[in-house]
Amino acid sequence: MHSTSDNILSAVRIEKGFPGTKALDKVDFQLRRGEVHALLGENGAGKSTLIKCLTGAYRRDSGSILLDGVEVDPRDTFDAQRLGIGTVYQEVNLLPNLTVAENLFLGRQPRRFGMIDTRAMNRMARELLAEYELDLDVTGDLASYSVAIQQVVAIARAVDLSGKVLILDEPTASLDAHEVAMLFRIVRRLKARGLGIIFITHFLEQVYEISDRITVLRNGQLVGTRETADLDRRDLITMMIGRELADEIHTHHASAGEGRLRYRFRNYGRRGHIEPFDLDVRAGEVVGIAGLLGSGRTETAEVLFGAHRADSGTAEIDGRAVDLPSPRAAIRRKFGFCPEDRKTAGIVGDLSVRENIVLALQARRGWTRPISRTEQNRLADHYIRALDIRTADREKPIKLLSGGNQQKAILARWLATEPEFLILDEPTRGIDVGAHAEIVKLIESLRERGLSLIVISSEIEELVAYSTRVVVLRDRAHVAELDGERITAHNIVEAIAAANEGGRRDGDR
């Protein structure tokens, strides 16, 4: 190894496998003293697996970890903490019902004659927090403070306990711009003290603001480590999404302007979820939604469907104002929504294919008007045939089907309600290539039948293939819209990467 002296932490050829997958494949990672090192990658890239191997939460299969040049083998997170590696998670892992001082010194309270010396503990807590520019009542319950303050208390505790390496796992996800600025001041101060800081986030703005170097993982493999100053946004996104961005031909047939304008959302949004956006959807149109993880894609879908009620703006269907306070209301307006995580939010695993297919239709009709068994069988058989769902028979529990066939069954569920507005969140994630092509074909045919579709996908080529329009999201705001010939993979990546137009999270708020 070269120059171990300024590396405070080195991970060498870390491997970790889970049944069926290789979560980390010989990943190298170096953290210098006094640097902020951003660790980036899309969902399932291996970021959290790497962190868990470093902190002992997982046992790695092979590879070595050097801390200050000495090989270490943390057995669990306490062990890692004793060695000097502290972690702060997005969900503050402190106890809301204890005071700030108790949280800071839990398990190591100063004692006199066997009793806790509360006064000394509170004084130490105030002194410790003064280093973080916090002057607050340390005898108050932690729950009475904002998440940002709790986050700083968690950092103070972690640094006080470990003191060499600080891992921040999405610490800014629920903070506003002002709070992020405060957090970054603290991070810079710790950096000046010589700590090595690993920063995980999906806000690229913040990566450029705070980090010195960037390491990108993809599918459990190291893509590379770069100096932040030398890596432009476009190259970074290419590293993360990982495609050779050939400008392929845009293959769709209909242009955006053909169908009748049906759905009109104005200034629609929800605080803390998605910035207000305008969206028009025509009949026979597929609006693709592109953006990195955490850019607000799913949040957009949930607000449109009423799963999270919009707190600003208006919705119109065919020129009439409508209210969409809940999924039930949306379903009554002939909306459908296939969520991203079909295992937890989509299928009901123990019910049969037939029952899963009729679920949404029955929900819309209400329990007083049951669908007859004959009708259920007819519907199930129809969609099993129409969508080519591969199942031995319609009574098979759906959990026994493959991912692609489950996805088709959920599509069938919504098609059975004869929706006019269908939202698909990552319809092709985790399914095999054959099923993938069929679902893309299905989206095409639904569009031809005059449905309005919103499709969210991280597969940019896929969006290019079927979208008549693409909306690009960044940092929980709609930042660009592409249509017609402008829908190319190249343009989408450019739009995701574009630094300074609109929607800056920490700019104008």
3-state SS, one letter per residue, for 400-463:
HCCHHHHHHHHHHHHHHCCCCEEEEECCCCCCCHHHHHHHHHHHHHHHHCCCEEEEECCCHHHH
Cβ-based neighbours of 215, under 8 Å, separated by 6 or more? 29, 37, 38, 39, 40, 222, 224, 225
- Using CB under 8 A as the binding rule, whether residue 311 contacts another protein is answered as no
Region for 57 from its dihedrals, namely left if φ exceeds 0, alpha if ψ lies in -120 to 50, beta otherwise: alpha
Indicate the residue among 107 and 319 with the shorter CB distance to another protein.
107
Stretch that binds another protein, among 17-25, 46-54, 104-112, 358-366 (CB under 8 A): 104-112
**Which position among 1, 95, 130, 181 is part of the footprint of another protein (CB under 8 A)?**
95
Nearest to 379 by CA among 365, 405, 361: 361
Residue 411 near residue 439, CB atoms below 8 Å: yes
CA distance 23 to 96: 34
- Using CB under 8 A as the binding rule, whether residue 426 contacts another protein is answered as no
Q: In sequence order, which ranges of 198-296 are alpha helices (DSSP H)? A: 204-210, 233-241
**Which position among 1, 5, 73, 106 is part of the footprint of another protein (CB under 8 A)?**
106
Indicate the residue among 77 and 238 with the shorter CB distance to another protein.
77
Indicate the residue among 77 and 225 with the shorter CB distance to another protein.
77
Stretch that binds another protein, among 103-111, 225-233, 244-252, 466-474 (CB under 8 A): 103-111
Stretch that binds another protein, among 91-99, 123-131, 208-216, 464-472 (CB under 8 A): 91-99
Q: With contacts defined by CB under 8 A, how many residues of the chain interact with another protein?
A: 23
- Using CB under 8 A as the binding rule, whether residue 146 contacts another protein is answered as yes
- Using CB under 8 A as the binding rule, whether residue 102 contacts another protein is answered as yes
CB of 116 to another protein, least distance (A): 5
23 token code pair? 């979560």
Give first-to-last CA distance, the chain, whole Å: 46
Indicate the residue among 109 and 221 with the shorter CB distance to another protein.
109
CB of 98 to another protein, least distance (A): 6
How far, in Å, are 49, 220, 270, 446 from residue 45 at the CA level?
Answer: 9, 5, 29, 32
Residue 42, helix vs strand vs coil: coil
Strand order in the sheet with 85-88: 85-88, 165-169, 196-200, 36-40, 213-218, 221-227
Q: Hunting for tokens 């028979």 — which residue is that?
A: 393
Backbone angles phi, psi at 73, to 5 degrees: -145, 75
**Which position among 66, 98, 254, 322 is part of the footprint of another protein (CB under 8 A)?**
98
CB of 113 to another protein, least distance (A): 10
Stretch that binds another protein, among 45-53, 95-103, 232-240, 413-421 (CB under 8 A): 95-103
Indicate the residue among 143 and 499 with the shorter CB distance to another protein.
143
Position 212, amino acid: D
- Using CB under 8 A as the binding rule, whether residue 169 contacts another protein is answered as no
- Using CB under 8 A as the binding rule, whether residue 75 contacts another protein is answered as no
Stretch that binds another protein, among 135-143, 193-201, 239-247, 255-263 (CB under 8 A): 135-143
- Using CB under 8 A as the binding rule, whether residue 392 contacts another protein is answered as no
CA distance 258 to 284: 8
Backbone angles phi, psi at 89, to 5 degrees: -100, 170
Stretch that binds another protein, among 108-116, 171-179, 222-230, 430-438 (CB under 8 A): 108-116
**Which position among 19, 20, 114, 319 is part of the footprint of another protein (CB under 8 A)?**
114
**Footprint of another protein (CB under 8 A):** 77-78, 93-98, 102-103, 106-107, 109, 111, 114-116, 118, 140-141, 143-144, 146
